[in-house]
Amino acid sequence: MRSITLYDTTLRDGSQSEDISFTVEDKIRIAHKLDDLGVHYIEGGWPGSNPKDIEFFRKARRLTFKQSKITAFGSTRYPGKSVENDVNIQHLLEAETDAVTIFGKSWDLHVQDALSTSQDENLRMVTESLAYLKKHCAEVMFDAEHFFDGYKSNPEYAMKVLQEAESAGADWIILCDTNGGSLPWEISEIFNAVKKSVHIKLGIHCHNDSELAVANSIKAVQVGASQVQGTINGLGERCGNANLISIIANLKLKMGLDCVTDKQMQSLKGVSAFVDEIANQDHWNHQPYVGQSAFAHKGGIHVAAIQKNRATYEHIEPEAVGNWQRILISDLSGKSNIVFKAKEFGIDVDGGDPKVKKILSDLKTLENLGYQYEGAEGSFELLMHDALGDKEVFFEFIGFRVIVEKRQEDEEPVTEATVKIRVNGVQEVTAAEGTGPVDALDRAIKKALTKFYPELEEVNLLDYKVRILDEKKGTRSKIRVLVESGDHHSKWGTVGVSENIIEASWQALIDSLEYKLNTFSKKNPAS
């Protein structure tokens, strides 16, 4: 079976979306999800371009990935500079990644108007940059930026750029439709022409400005590309990049090509929703393969047909991508997804267990209220344990109060939180100050509980996101709070929903600590 290499650039190209901003912790969480999915290369960012990417690569060096290679991205050297004195080239080496990708100009228009240099100097920039990097890096890839536009404008020069890259020692050459304006038959014709002159591994990188990024990527694979670049959910600058979610499903299920395992394919919907949640984006219900509506049936004729044979109105089995069939009239199914998730958490449960039906019922009720669990695995695991009857209760909530006081115009507000809880019949009342209501609450809760459960001292609040769910209600809108917490060993997400942002935050914080205590108790039953 022919194998296709997957290259994800969500953390770099995807983060260039107009409305996307990932924290370093966001990027690390997404990277681990991509590794679980089976992505071969994860482009972490542009080292040296901003403090966030510098920090990501510094932390990534200490992380372990099962399959993925973390890749640094940058450009060829600047015109008129030596590679040894080029700051960007040196930053790429300092990132100490498994692979490095650099882009260079292959369109004569860009050489003249964007770089303001000569065509010969641009060729030298490509050759010298790649040759230098290849001396210091195990694997080097060359993104031929604007290649298809360059080939249409000046095919001889565009091919020269590729030949220089090959002779300089590049391991891969990636043909880029950077402006996203090419059509599928143009992709195949030009790709076939390239194969006659270039003899190393080729890849494809498409943008979606003509709504053809996925189609163009698939077409390139059909005519010989062995690497496909893209982003989860098609995130990216302008109209986005090729959507790796759809590409993976098409490669595996439609073309029979090896890219991820069957088990990894089943996590496709979960990865899509996870990245949306971390990016603080609404999920696209109608997204092919993984959207909530992708296998939803409403019309009477459709419903009657699929109850006899699913193939009548479903082009694949939804479970293959981690999705499920929905009949909107009765809102049936979803058990298989619960069982799959339970196994992921190490919970032994059978699909025929009546408790699975309760989990599903609870899940649908809560999601209708605004809860989303894709980025809140901790809260979802607690929900499952609660329904299965094996969730431990470590403390009882009594009440909390938060006071925010601003004494003078030029002073920062002072926030104080007081919490009341009961542990083993002992009531505890504690207060703490913080830089805001959530910080104060977090400090007060931990202050109250750590004397009973010292293991909570190692729990830290790593990230905090707020989403307004019904904007039309203004300040009375329902709020969803997503919290990421972690200790020395792991990280987990929890969620809270309320019309009161403090209440929503409280829910997420309490879930975070309950998750830690339940996990700790199961690992240390004698404690």
CATH architecture of 353-394+453-527: 2-Layer Sandwich (3.30)
Burial, 514: exposed, middle or buried (Cβ in 10 Å; 0-12, 13-18, 19+)?
A: buried
The DSSP string of 27-50 is HHHHHHHHHHHT-SEEEEE-TTSS
Asked if the model's pLDDT at residue 250 lies above 80, the reply is: yes
Where residue 343 falls among pLDDT bands split at 50, 70, 90? confident
- Top CATH class of 5-260 equals alpha beta
Q: Which residue stretches of 436-500 are H helix?
A: 437-449
Asked if the model's pLDDT at residue 357 lies above 90, the reply is: no
Residue 237 and residue 17 in contact, taking contact as beta carbons nearer than 8 Å:
yes
Q: Spell out the domain ranges in the chain.
A: 5-260, 353-394+453-527, 395-440
Asked if the model's pLDDT at residue 310 lies above 80, the reply is: yes
Check residue 329 and give its pLDDT. 35
d(CA 104, CA 283): 35
Check residue 331 and give its pLDDT. 37
Asked if the model's pLDDT at residue 363 lies above 90, the reply is: no
d(CA 246, CA 370): 27
- Average pLDDT in the 163-176 region? 98
d(CA 66, CA 488): 20
d(CA 285, CA 297): 13
Query: What is the average pLDDT value for the chain, to the nearest integer?
Result: 91
Asked if the model's pLDDT at residue 261 lies above 70, the reply is: yes
d(CA 132, CA 135): 5
d(CA 132, CA 129): 5
Other CB atoms closer than 10 Å to residue 441's CB: what's the count? 24
424: Cα within 13 Å, side-chain hemisphere: 4
Point out the least confidently predicted range of 128-142, 175-189, 343-357, 364-378.
343-357
Quote the DSSP letter at residue 73: E
Check residue 432 and give its pLDDT. 94
Asked if the model's pLDDT at residue 152 lies above 70, the reply is: yes
Amino acid (1-letter code) at residue 402: V
Check residue 111 and give its pLDDT. 96
Check residue 472 and give its pLDDT. 75
d(CA 264, CA 234): 19
- Average pLDDT in the 381-410 region? 89
Asked if the model's pLDDT at residue 352 lies above 90, the reply is: no
Sign of the alpha-carbon dihedral angle for 331, 333, 339, 341: negative
CA 166 to chain centre: 32
Check residue 337 and give its pLDDT. 61
Asked if the model's pLDDT at residue 468 lies above 50, the reply is: yes
- Average pLDDT in the 240-249 region? 98
Check residue 139 and give its pLDDT. 98
Residue 249 and residue 38 in contact, taking contact as beta carbons nearer than 8 Å:
no
Where residue 372 falls among pLDDT bands split at 50, 70, 90? confident
Amino acid (1-letter code) at residue 79: P
Q: Which residue stretches of 315-436 are H helix?
A: 335-344, 354-369, 377-388
Point out the least confidently predicted range of 338-347, 353-362, 392-401, 500-509.
338-347
d(CA 390, CA 407): 48
| Residue range 276-290, pLDDT digits in tens | 999 988 889 899 999
- Average pLDDT in the 404-430 region? 90
Q: Please report where in the chains the tokens 């302008």 appear, as a residue.
A: 238
Other CB atoms closer than 10 Å to residue 434's CB: what's the count? 17
Which pTM does this prediction carry? 0.75
The DSSP string of 163-225 is HHHHHTT-SEEEEEETTS---HHHHHHHHHHHHTT--SEEEEEEB-TTS-HHHHHHHHHHTT-
Tell me, yes or no, if the two domains 5-260 and 353-394+453-527 fold the same way: no
Point out the least confidently predicted range of 204-208, 349-353, 355-359.
349-353
Maximum separation of any 2 CA atoms in the chain, in Å: 82
- Residue that wins the pLDDT comparison between 302 and 250: 250
| Residue range 66-123, pLDDT digits in tens | 999 999 999 999 999 999 999 999 999 999 999 999 999 999 999 999 999 999 999 9
d(CA 53, CA 59): 10
Check residue 419 and give its pLDDT. 95
Where residue 410 falls among pLDDT bands split at 50, 70, 90? confident
d(CA 151, CA 143): 14
- Average pLDDT in the 235-255 region? 97
d(CA 520, CA 277): 26
